[in-house]
Structure 1
């Protein structure tokens, strides 16, 4: 690093906005097309959102949702929600209307900020047929159209009756342990659950991330990872706010577009999946393109060969290549490699525990295991969630009496304390970086009138890492083919959840407990367990 990183003193996101404005002044915080927002001007933009929320009657602790791709308004809306003392509820842009409505209803979000159109989909229209009664206002980022209550500019104008001084008082009243966000995840099984996180947890964890990765004031950070995910939100634009870096939002993963932007926008920090870097290394114009601005890469989400780490350093010019491990329930970050770790360590491990975090491996009886022995990964520390929203039973099943978060992931710790993931959640698979939970997909598929029984497993895929395969038993006299069931699924669930294959069975194999034996299914389909 050219200068020693001095961490901010703030322990809430509202306080961080104010501190960053003082520290970084006219340095650009967000650069999104023609939109430029500097640090000094950030508070006024954020408080404009807070004033409108307060005018609408939003109180501390209320929930406000965002359903939009990566763009400047997403960040301004989120910080405005935080500064109003409310909790931000991000929604996956891949979700269909009913899936989004479920999260809005269960979180009791009173306001929704939603993109008007994205990838030729009218998002407000998709929600209209299943809009929860608890949702008081739909604010379109773009044109309001027939299915939104108002557009962005009109909503901000509605806050003029509330002074900025009132908004600043509301922001100053936010405490470090107040709920900052409610991020819905399926956890280890089934229906998505709301993970409650606090301001202090985010800031403390990602101060460590900035320090370890060596992210600097003035870095230009291209954020391809979606803002609705911890990787794009907390390890993305919040990290920039901590470090004084510039956020360059990128709405859709497109390796060719990202490649072009590196040279044009002088990108220095570029997190992403391994496929991004592989596509860059294979690009026909690699030798003719100026990639000299690149410095920091953070990757993961699938198996990484050590040679890829070596090539990223040698051919793409990255000084720092890191892998890390975390889950929504711990704020997205628990372990991370060191900047000077060798390629084998970066590729084959997920690093060591960040300061303030403990990692241990336990057996089926919850007893700690020795180095090198495989068992369940458990985490304890400041960043462990406050709990699942209004679900004490699920919380108690996940966080034990001693404060250990049971991840459901299987791994080992070596003698250095480096974590290696040897298996994922029992049945979870990852499609293009998105976690897929079979119980959730199976629940949706059983609504099909022709299906008597279904089990979903992940199968290897060269492009996506893994994809879903639905193993189906039909009801007597019912008929549906593979193409028909896939088409039906596309209308009802996010694209990454849609099974890419369907296999039909007369009966599914079961074990002694009469549970579906997915290992046998994998064996029958010649898929590794």
Structure 2
């Protein structure tokens, strides 16, 4: 009997050890989630900090307090109602970082309207597809930006606009679209002027918006973050008020916005989840001030804003920080940055150190997530050591579960690469009218499949290895580009690196390093080999190298990786142009 009990005990102990060693972590959280809408959150913050600046738009020379934002949002929400845009209708916002983008976002929240984020770089065919895919009823847009003429794009899609009264558009090319609002001083046929729209509501109309907030359910769809709509049906993750309020609260807390009043230099676009949730939402939760230096990212304008406005926090992608550091090395401005938040793509430890060295930041915060996880599921914690800050994407956020699985869906041992899965409040409601893709994304057990190669540690921290599709298979060896990029970035002459796989007849693929380097520097493949030999595995050492002036980027500032689809290797002067070459395919990096 004794032996039987001991055997049984050994089995239990062995089982527990095996289970404990698996890549699974649950962070139950210390604070309860809140059943609030974004509109109610705005009202709470305006009551708490009525005279505190919510938004400083330097390029528009405008400053709005939280109370002014609330007032303008209610006026615009009332105006939307007057032109036929009601609760749960879909309104697209198509513009760069302007005050009107911010107010439209808040107005839709106050009116229960679904805000559809439209990339300001989209062209006519993309916008037409997106309008029809989700049934956009109204669009608020800039008039012109860079080479874009948004009104002309809409006129190309709907020629009937030239003869339509404002709010009365009827077009077979976009049957759902009725109202267009343009931020412009010009009279544009068929469109409302933004300023004129703001003058339409009566006091009673605005009061009606204020008194109807309780009718908006926190579980209602608040935002749609659209993927590209060039061909086929775009994926449109649906994000609720509940998602946005809570995820942005914990983001702000993790980035220490709750400790004191911070001014945040905004380098990221509003339309991306980095801009909407990590930046706007977190600032709204904790009363932080947003400082927008330019319509789109400009490293020198950012540097001026950091200096002039005495910003204590800065947000950006790794590429943005590379350019900001370059500008600071030239200008050597006196900065007062406490915290740099980095997301959108993996950031190398070397870049983290340079951010501290040249920008003078005291802490660098990593954030990791997807549009489908609202924004962030892993992020840096307060008071973590430099190793965790520079080598991980942070700790699993509160009220979430994470696990890492192999190709068979089985959990891998702790510290082993596999696909990251997330479960909890921060997973999207699903893709709009796309049940098949939703089922691929979220399995029957409610685990969301990120598609990212990830290492989960037993302390709840995680490391990105790369996208599953990014893995290079060279002669049977699985090679993870992120590991190589982190080492290449330690070379003093390399500004930024991207590692890609190119076809090889015998090995299947070989490793190619595509580099941005310091000006007036000559770097050879032999130099690269010396830098890598004995420091990383021999099969990880690049066998090809290309030098480029810049990497192609998405409008949100993320680098687009290029993969060669044939045997030919392109030289540096053709690499950047390869974005239009059918021999390459473009894959968004995160």
The equivalent of 1:95 in structure 2 is 122
Structure 1 unaligned spans of 5+? 1-5, 434-456, 474-481, 487-495, 506-517, 523-529
Query: In structure 2, the residue corresponding to 1:163 is in which secondary structure?
Result: helix
**Deviation for aligned residue 1:300:** 3.3
**Deviation for aligned residue 1:156:** 2.0
CA shift in 2, pair 1:472/1:52, >3 Å: farther
CA shift in 2, pair 1:353/1:285, >3 Å: closer
CA contact (8 A) 1:352 1:419 kept: yes
The equivalent of 1:76 in structure 2 is 103
- Output the CA distance in 2 between the equivalents of 1:97 and 1:116: 14
- Output the CA distance in 2 between the equivalents of 1:81 and 1:267: 29
1:67 aligns with 2:110: no
The equivalent of 2:261 in structure 1 is 218
1:335-374 deviations in whole A, cap 9, x for unaligned?
1122333333233321121001111001222121110122
1:468 aligns with 2:562: yes
Q: TM-score, normalised by structure 2?
A: 0.71
- Output the CA distance in 2 between the equivalents of 1:313 and 1:504: 40
CA contact (8 A) 1:32 1:71 kept: yes
- Output the CA distance in 1 between the equivalents of 2:418 and 2:228: 21
- Output the CA distance in 2 between the equivalents of 1:156 and 1:261: 29
CA contact (8 A) 1:471 1:502 kept: no
1:261-283 deviations in whole A, cap 9, x for unaligned?
21112111101122333334344
CA shift in 2, pair 1:383/1:8, >3 Å: closer
CA contact (8 A) 2:133 2:233 kept: no
**Deviation for aligned residue 1:186:** 6.0
CA shift in 2, pair 1:425/1:102, >3 Å: farther
The equivalent of 2:55 in structure 1 is 30
- Output the CA distance in 1 between the equivalents of 2:187 and 2:108: 24
Query: In structure 2, the residue corresponding to 1:248 is in which secondary structure?
Result: strand
CA contact (8 A) 2:33 2:246 kept: no
Q: Aligned match of 2:419 in 346, 360, 376? A: 376
**Deviation for aligned residue 1:259:** 1.3
- Output the CA distance in 1 between the equivalents of 2:331 and 2:69: 39
The equivalent of 1:447 in structure 2 is none
1:40 aligns with 2:119: no
The equivalent of 1:166 in structure 2 is 208
- Output the CA distance in 2 between the equivalents of 1:225 and 1:302: 13
1:86 aligns with 2:130: no
CA shift in 2, pair 1:288/1:377, >3 Å: closer
- Output the CA distance in 1 between the equivalents of 2:185 and 2:331: 43
- Output the CA distance in 1 between the equivalents of 2:249 and 2:329: 36
- Output the CA distance in 1 between the equivalents of 2:86 and 2:412: 47
1:272 aligns with 2:316: yes
- Output the CA distance in 2 between the equivalents of 1:185 and 1:111: 19
- Output the CA distance in 2 between the equivalents of 1:281 and 1:41: 35
Q: TM-score, normalised by structure 1?
A: 0.79
- Output the CA distance in 1 between the equivalents of 2:429 and 2:328: 48
The equivalent of 1:502 in structure 2 is 581
CA contact (8 A) 1:55 1:161 kept: no
- Output the CA distance in 2 between the equivalents of 1:85 and 1:458: 49
CA contact (8 A) 1:125 1:147 kept: no
1:453-483 deviations in whole A, cap 9, x for unaligned?
xxxx99845332544357489xxxxxxxx9x
- Output the CA distance in 2 between the equivalents of 1:404 and 1:368: 13
Query: In structure 2, the residue corresponding to 1:194 is in which secondary structure?
Result: coil
Query: In structure 1, the residue corresponding to 2:451 is in which secondary structure?
Result: strand
Q: Aligned match of 1:15 in 36, 40, 58? A: 40
The equivalent of 1:238 in structure 2 is 281
CA contact (8 A) 1:27 1:218 kept: no
CA contact (8 A) 2:83 2:179 kept: no
CA shift in 2, pair 1:122/1:287, >3 Å: closer
- Output the CA distance in 2 between the equivalents of 1:393 and 1:275: 34
The equivalent of 1:199 in structure 2 is 241
- Output the CA distance in 1 between the equivalents of 2:45 and 2:219: 20
CA contact (8 A) 1:10 1:19 kept: no
Query: In structure 1, the residue corresponding to 2:304 is in which secondary structure?
Result: helix
1:408 aligns with 2:451: yes
CA shift in 2, pair 1:66/1:283, >3 Å: closer
- Output the CA distance in 2 between the equivalents of 1:302 and 1:75: 24
- Output the CA distance in 2 between the equivalents of 1:219 and 1:151: 34
1:101-158 deviations in whole A, cap 9, x for unaligned?
2112211111100000111421110222124232101100123554651110122233
- Output the CA distance in 2 between the equivalents of 1:166 and 1:284: 50
- Output the CA distance in 2 between the equivalents of 1:181 and 1:284: 36
Two-structure CA RMSD over aligned residues (Å): 3.3
- Output the CA distance in 1 between the equivalents of 2:94 and 2:205: 27
Q: Aligned match of 1:128 in 152, 155, 161? A: 155
Larger radius of gyration: 2
- Output the CA distance in 2 between the equivalents of 1:181 and 1:45: 20
Which residues of 2 match residues 304-315 of structure 1 at below 5 A?
A: 304-315=347-358
The equivalent of 2:142 in structure 1 is 115
CA shift in 2, pair 1:319/1:419, >3 Å: same
CA contact (8 A) 2:291 2:305 kept: no
- Output the CA distance in 2 between the equivalents of 1:35 and 1:458: 47
The equivalent of 1:419 in structure 2 is 462
The equivalent of 1:58 in structure 2 is 85
CA shift in 2, pair 1:109/1:354, >3 Å: same
CA shift in 2, pair 1:287/1:89, >3 Å: closer
CA shift in 2, pair 1:466/1:78, >3 Å: closer
- Output the CA distance in 1 between the equivalents of 2:291 and 2:202: 29
